[in-house]
Amino acid sequence: MKFRLIFYIIMTISMTTQADAPTKKQLPPCLDTPNCVSSQATDKGHYIAPFKIFGDPKFAWAELRKAIMAHDRMFITHETDNTLHAEATSLVLHFVDDIDAILDTEAGLIHVRSASRRGHSDFGVNRKRIEKFRAQLRKLHVLE
């Protein structure tokens, strides 16, 4: 009886600790080509600063979602409360780029990634896309 009680207490504490531990979500890594940017990249060529939230993180997240949906040839394919994946299709050759975002409410950040699925160079399109979103959200006063 004592063994069961001790075992139950240890298991309860262990499960509570694991459930309450924050899980750090990761963006997909950039490949070894210059057609990807990510706020979680560790190398200078692929790194782009995350979005630093000013104010309510959920409001900033909703505004990012609106900004993505407002673009032609861009649509959200999957989303949760704190992650989203979108696809952008180029006008002429119909190349598809992937856009990923993760809301980190504790750090007050939105981590972002934009990457081409094909080819080697993107002529800076993915970096420009993320910076365009940053500028849009700054105009709305949701980013620093």
| pLDDT at site 25 | 87
Residue 51 falls inside a structural domain: yes
Backbone φ/ψ region at 16: left (φ over 0), alpha (ψ -120 to 50), beta: alpha
DSSP string, 17-73: HHHHSPPPP-PPPP-SSSSEEETT--STTTB-PPEEB-S-HHHHHHHHHHHHHTSTT
Residue 123 in any domain: the answer is yes
pLDDT, averaged across the chain = 87
Mean pLDDT over 60-76 rounds to 96
Q: What's the predicted TM-score (pTM) here?
A: 0.81
- For residue 56, being part of any structural domain is answered with yes
Please say whether the beta carbons of 50 and 37 come within 8 A. Answer: no
pLDDT per residue as tens digits for the range 93-126: 899 999 999 999 999 999 999 999 999 989 999 9
54 located within any domain: yes
Q: What is the CATH number of the domain that holds 134?
A: 3.30.310.80
How many domains would you assign to the chain?
Answer: 1
Look up the domain containing 92 and give its range.
24-139
